[in-house]
Structure 1
Amino acid sequence: MKEKVSKFKSLLVATSVLGMVTYSSAMGAARDDIPLANYDIGNQATLTYQTLGGTNKLLQSNIVLTTINQTYALALDPDRIVEVTAGKDALFNHTLTNYGNGTDSFKITHDYTGRTVTMYLDSNNNGVLDAGENEIVPSNGEYLINEIGPWESQSIIVRVSTTGSETAQVTSTLTAKSVGDVGKTDTATETIKFTAKANVGVYKALSSASGASDVAREVTVYLKVFNDSTTYAKDAVLTDTLNTKFTYVENSAKWQDYKTDTVTSITDNYDQSGIVYSVTKKNSDGTGNDIINFTVKQVPQNTLVESKGGVLSFKVLVKEGETVGSITNKATFQFKSGEETTPITGKESNTVTYSVLKYVRATFTGDTVANAQAGQEIRFVNVFKNVANAPEIYNLAIADKFFPVGTTFRMALQTP
């Protein structure tokens, strides 16, 4: 809404000038349907008429302004179920969203007992605890998340300790509370299950979390396939249905085998050394999804997230001119534990997010009137286009030094 306020003020200036401007706008995903807190919105009436002598007149009413109060709302999503080998830490990721119309802070509590619980800001929003991410130190049992902007989100990671002898399911509730209005709360449930079988996981990451689409951007996708149990897994089948806004780069895949530093390039139709890789491409008209199909015939035991190897990577493109917004993606997979013949299905990786950032680009085409009589009203139709990937505010002005003294101007906006 801040942009709306600026546009309103610029139009007040514009209506005092004469001329004609035609414009078109490339609309993006910016939220502009709810006013921001503490901003003024206004309205002004304009009247144009012609006197009996044929003179054009313009009248404007007073400006009526209203200040928007701050409202408070939040969401803590989603409920999570994590299956771990007893004695390993359980990791949960959640998204805290500020649905109020102003910046707010939030306090989170949990009801675990007898466990070590640590919470982190997930700085790249990939749902996995990465090296260097900041721990949120609790005060009186409350974890403070500072200053989330209106309609913005913060991903958090919760790490919970377990002991080596546990078998019973553990459940806890996280509660998030607004600092601005303590009556506004939301909850998410965390459930820990224990398994004595192979415990394969897939960690997905991106080489870049954001970028402007002023040019086509290339992003590398990483999929780490690991197994934190003492039982090996076999036939781990992974499917990554890419977001429609990601376009796969042909023959860009690489594989780093377990416990090695060696990275091997693989083609889009590959079946060697215990891995199988293929790609199902989008439709010829660009619709649909690129789908990555990947099988690891054996996942060794005790191959943790931080251990060497077990990494598939490939490249995708975000097209030039892609609209502002978030591109989210996750993979699904299944596997067999040891020599069991029935696969464990319904598994998912973490969700990664790539943010398409705003950039500014516009064109302005002028107009020429070849002949005119003294005293005649002349209309110049100039075409202004916002050709970027989001709405923008532009201030238009007229340089009157090229016109005779006494010339008056009026500028009007005409949408296509």
Structure 2
Amino acid sequence: MKHQSFFMRSASAMAVTAAFGAAALAAAPEAGSVIGNQAVATYTNQAGDTITVTSNTVETIVQQVAGVTLTSDNNETIAPGGKAFLPHIVTNEGNGADFFALTAVETDTGTLDTSAIVFYPDANMDGVADSATPLTETPTLAPGEQFGVVIEVSVPSNATGSDSITVTARSDLDGTETAVNTDTLTISNDAIVELVKSMVADAASGGNPNIVDAGDTVSIELTYSSTGLAAANNYTVDDILDGRLAYVPGSARWSDAAGILDDANGSSSVDATNGSGETIAFDTNGQSVNFNISSVGSGRSGSVTFQAVILDTADAGIIENVATQEIDNVAFPPSNTASIIVDDQFAVSIADTAIDGAGAADPTTASATDDDAANNDVVTETGDAAQGGTVKHEFVLTNRSNQTDSLTLDVSNIDYPAGTTFRFVGADGVTPIIGSVGPLAAGDSAKVTLIATLPTDVAPTAAANFNATVSTTSDASGVSDTSTATFTGAILASAVDLENAVAGSEGDGLDPTNAGAPWVNYATDPGAPVTYDMVVENNGPVSDSYNLSLAQALPAGWTVEFRSADGSAISNTGTIPAGASDTFTVVVTPPADQAPGDTLVDIALVSSVSGQGDRIVNEVTVNEIYNVEIIDDQNAQASPGGIVDMVHTITNTGNVAITEGAINDTGLNNFSGALFWDANGNGVIDPSELVIDNFDDLTDGVSAGVNGLAPGESISVIYRVQTPSTATSGVTEIGTISLDPSLNGGTATDADTADNAVEDRIVIISGDVTLSKYQYIDANCDGTVGTFTKTRQDVSPGQCIRYKVEAENTGSSPAANVIISDAAPAYTSVTDCGGTCSETLFPAGSTATVTSSNISSDHGTVLPGGFATLEFTVQVDE
């Protein structure tokens, strides 16, 4: 890879680094993550053209949830008047930072002294307290981070029988999420041995002393202490290593004797003798390590140490181990659970093939669009493209980390023509990539396609040589890799021309500007719309349709609308036959508080079939003016008996609160209308929202207890108009919404009444197929029905999101071969909730293809006025 990079983290590194890397250990998305989703539909129109439409994006925000585990229960035998040391490990299983209160309560018959139960820190989790400072809570832990504690228990000299201690870790985040262990102590006058196991990575064993990774060496110590009143004869310890660890031959030593214990002697042969004549027999088969000591006298302690290596198959995460013990063939409580964390290591790749863990190309997963040699880190397209057309480069992403990760994508233009735009789609070549790709398991790959859209004014050429750098970045670590997209095909002349319908300033041909200047300039007031009349000519050999957009975004607060010749809002020209032309308008509205000056409006269109396009650069000059206004006139279309909602903004741009003044709607005859206050500004009429006819209907609009509209504030109103079922195509009515100039009980008069009214034109006509997406949260993933909405929702890990994608044929002819495609967002997967939330389709006879990451549905032909819907559910990872 050109810039292949690696990121590695150690638990012993700086706190900020540890907190950053720990999040990757959690399967759930971190608190605050935004999950986005967008759907796509294709259909065939009456002219036989295949049209693609894209829905709105719906988003959910992941909320922080608590989670905790506590490892593990302990069973200890203890002499009267003795002490027990009980190790535990607290793990933050939530998706955000949290700390945990610690309590230990005697639960049985009172042989213990509860006041003598104390927590101490064990940060390295070796089963031995790090300091003599008592604890009542853990430090703040990042998601997935662990913290060890040791409970010291002192029992009175007259203690008998057995007793239990309930150990609890409780989340501070919500105060209810807990984890519980039960420790059992048995009082005995016989032999007792406490066994403590520790595992510590050898910092000198690997290439980076701050990293615990596959291939590193782990030092393991088994410490035994004879705390009973009698000697422990025939004492045996057996330690079966986790499958990710392998014993290092010749590494075992006994604290009571010099030299190395012999691996090959067998369990019945003596390996060493101490000064008291006690012997040890050691044995191992590489995975099981065991030793037998002839006798451990009362009050004596010692240890056996050895090493193990972390195998190459060990992914990031916790490796835990417990050793067992016997005294004279009688089982005694096992050791504590010792653990070591294999640290996160991150590596990602983007290339023309998948890349394996050793960095070599894996040709079994390769780009389908690459026209040059494989495994050269370049995806080359040699096919021709038209001016304004698209060039597709398929890349292969590989997660080379040792844990699951999600990857984000970016592109940087090298020498593609200025004005080229880029976007990424998924493996199906259609679905837009919103947010991250994944999660991808360690070693997994995914295909993505970069679509480069050439500018319409790029010079035609017989041979191109354009390049862009594509990069992918690990969500968990920030490491990245790059590759190159290269286009060497010819650039063909455009077959579409976008023009202004203004004599002398049409902008014929391919040049989007008039020698660097805008073609048309219109002056307007702040908040007042400017309308450009446009003509599009299809100079291609077949019918085509063109998606409308701005090549460059307008400043914040500006709005743009594309409208057909009949005034209806559009985002596509509709089908234009070969050699024909059509008209549309572009309505640009600056903000009400926009400063004076000039702003360029770069209008673009691109074929939804061939990818050919063109641009025109016009200009808006904003005048200096102050106004109290309602904006703006609307042109809408509706079907007979249908309902249309037109949104307007009423703004108080003065410096006096408006507490009273009539708001009137007039002008409709056979149509009927009402004006609603869109109090929450979501663009739809909610059941609680009011019909208004005066500023004094705006509850608490000025301040608490004072109705109206405060200076500088705006409200949204929705003019809902219903047409009669007998209305025929072409019938038009105009509704007028006006603000009475007499304000505040007649004590004030609007200084400029020219902007006190708007006219809404509603025409009965047919439109095209539109695609909308909605969502609600199914918190328990049990198929509970909710209310669909387009607005942002909050979701917690483990909860479900129910999506509805609705394709409506608003045209006058059937839409054939209607197919809806969608994908599960990052950190989610498609689910049927055990059969309670399976996908649903409309109309009857529709079919669906479902995987854990994608869903598509075939609805056949949808008649004018008809709908095709797909509902499905995804579950957020936890």
TM-score, normalised with respect to structure 1:
0.73
Structure 2 residue corresponding to 1:297, chosen from 276, 286, 294: 294
The CA distance in 2 between the partners of 1:175 and 1:353, in whole Å, is: 20
Shift, 1:383, TM fit: 3.3
CA distance 1:50–1:360, change in 2 (3 Å):
farther
- The equivalent residue for 2:101 is 107
2:88 is aligned with 1:91? no
* Letter in structure 1 aligned against 2:263: D
Structure 1: state its 5+ residue gaps: 1-27, 137-142, 282-289, 305-309, 337-342
- The equivalent residue for 1:318 is 310
The CA distance in 2 between the partners of 1:360 and 1:133, in whole Å, is: 37
SS where residue 411 of structure 2 aligns?
Answer: coil
**Matches for 1:244-255 after TM superposition, within 5 Å:** 244-255=243-254
- The equivalent residue for 1:119 is 119
The CA distance in 2 between the partners of 1:370 and 1:149, in whole Å, is: 45
Q: Is the 8 A contact 1:237 1:335 kept in 2?
A: yes
CA distance 1:404–1:247, change in 2 (3 Å):
same
2:261 is aligned with 1:266? yes
2:198 is aligned with 1:205? yes
* Letter in structure 2 aligned against 1:205: S
- The equivalent residue for 1:196 is 189
- The equivalent residue for 1:231 is 230
CA distance 1:169–1:401, change in 2 (3 Å):
closer
Shift, 1:201, TM fit: 2.4
The CA distance in 1 between the partners of 2:271 and 2:292, in whole Å, is: 11
The CA distance in 2 between the partners of 1:115 and 1:253, in whole Å, is: 41
* Letter in structure 2 aligned against 1:154: F
- The equivalent residue for 1:65 is 59
User: Structure 1, residues 32-52: CA drift from partner, whole Å, max 9, x if none?
Assistant: 3x4444443222335689999
The CA distance in 2 between the partners of 1:214 and 1:272, in whole Å, is: 32
Report the more deviating stretch, 194-203 or 37-46.
Answer: 37-46
Q: Is the 8 A contact 2:26 2:93 kept in 1?
A: no
The CA distance in 2 between the partners of 1:58 and 1:384, in whole Å, is: 26
**Matches for 1:16-415 after TM superposition, within 5 Å:** 30-32=25-27, 34-46=28-40, 60-76=54-70, 78-112=72-106, 113=113, 115-126=115-126, 128-132=127-131, 134-136=133-135, 143-150=136-143, 152-185=145-178, 187-208=180-201, 212=211, 216-257=215-256, 263-270=258-265, 271-273=270-272, 274-281=279-286, 290-304=287-301, 310-320=302-312, 322-336=314-328, 343-365=329-351, 366-367=377-378, 369=380, 371-373=382-384, 375=386, 378-404=391-417, 409-414=422-427, 415=446
Shift, 1:357, TM fit: 1.1
Structure possessing the higher relative contact order (Cα contacts under 8 Å, 6 or more residues apart): 1
The CA distance in 2 between the partners of 1:50 and 1:84, in whole Å, is: 81
The CA distance in 2 between the partners of 1:404 and 1:73, in whole Å, is: 51
Shift, 1:220, TM fit: 1.4
CA distance 1:263–1:52, change in 2 (3 Å):
farther
CA distance 1:194–1:98, change in 2 (3 Å):
same
Q: Is the 8 A contact 2:202 2:217 kept in 1?
A: no
Shift, 1:389, TM fit: 0.7
User: Structure 1, residues 268-308: CA drift from partner, whole Å, max 9, x if none?
Assistant: 12333321112124xxxxxxxx111211122222124xxxx
The CA distance in 1 between the partners of 2:319 and 2:185, in whole Å, is: 29
Shift, 1:244, TM fit: 0.2
The CA distance in 2 between the partners of 1:59 and 1:324, in whole Å, is: 42
SS where residue 410 of structure 2 aligns?
Answer: coil
CA distance 1:313–1:400, change in 2 (3 Å):
same
Report the more deviating stretch, 264-273 or 395-404.
Answer: 395-404
* Letter in structure 1 aligned against 2:74: R
Q: Is the 8 A contact 1:364 1:383 kept in 2?
A: yes
Shift, 1:346, TM fit: 4.3
* Letter in structure 2 aligned against 1:367: V
Shift, 1:172, TM fit: 3.7
CA distance 1:326–1:398, change in 2 (3 Å):
same
Q: Is the 8 A contact 1:243 1:327 kept in 2?
A: yes
User: Structure 1, residues 358-394: CA drift from partner, whole Å, max 9, x if none?
Assistant: 1122344323548544638654444332222123444
* Letter in structure 2 aligned against 1:195: S
Identical aligned residues as a percent: 24
The CA distance in 2 between the partners of 1:380 and 1:186, in whole Å, is: 50
CA distance 1:267–1:52, change in 2 (3 Å):
farther
SS where residue 123 of structure 2 aligns?
Answer: coil
* Letter in structure 1 aligned against 2:335: S
The CA distance in 1 between the partners of 2:221 and 2:101, in whole Å, is: 33
TM-score, normalised with respect to structure 2:
0.37
SS where residue 265 of structure 1 aligns?
Answer: coil
Shift, 1:144, TM fit: 2.7
CA distance 1:373–1:179, change in 2 (3 Å):
closer
The CA distance in 2 between the partners of 1:193 and 1:406, in whole Å, is: 78
Q: Is the 8 A contact 1:213 1:322 kept in 2?
A: no
The CA distance in 1 between the partners of 2:308 and 2:295, in whole Å, is: 27
Shift, 1:353, TM fit: 0.6
Shift, 1:235, TM fit: 1.5
The CA distance in 2 between the partners of 1:397 and 1:35, in whole Å, is: 21
The CA distance in 2 between the partners of 1:162 and 1:327, in whole Å, is: 33
The CA distance in 2 between the partners of 1:383 and 1:115, in whole Å, is: 61
* Letter in structure 2 aligned against 1:335: I
CA distance 1:368–1:109, change in 2 (3 Å):
closer
SS where residue 145 of structure 1 aligns?
Answer: coil
The CA distance in 2 between the partners of 1:53 and 1:30, in whole Å, is: 54
Q: Is the 8 A contact 2:121 2:129 kept in 1?
A: no
Q: Is the 8 A contact 2:262 2:271 kept in 1?
A: no
SS where residue 222 of structure 1 aligns?
Answer: strand
Q: Is the 8 A contact 1:209 1:354 kept in 2?
A: no
Q: Is the 8 A contact 2:122 2:130 kept in 1?
A: no
Q: Is the 8 A contact 1:174 1:187 kept in 2?
A: yes
Structure 2: state its 5+ residue gaps: 1-22, 107-112, 204-209, 273-278, 352-376, 428-445, 448-878
SS where residue 346 of structure 2 aligns?
Answer: coil
The CA distance in 2 between the partners of 1:411 and 1:100, in whole Å, is: 32
The CA distance in 1 between the partners of 2:171 and 2:130, in whole Å, is: 29
Q: Is the 8 A contact 1:123 1:133 kept in 2?
A: no
CA distance 1:76–1:389, change in 2 (3 Å):
closer
* Letter in structure 2 aligned against 1:345: A
Shift, 1:328, TM fit: 0.5
User: Structure 1, residues 219-271: CA drift from partner, whole Å, max 9, x if none?
Assistant: 111112321234222221111111000011222222221xxxx5411221233
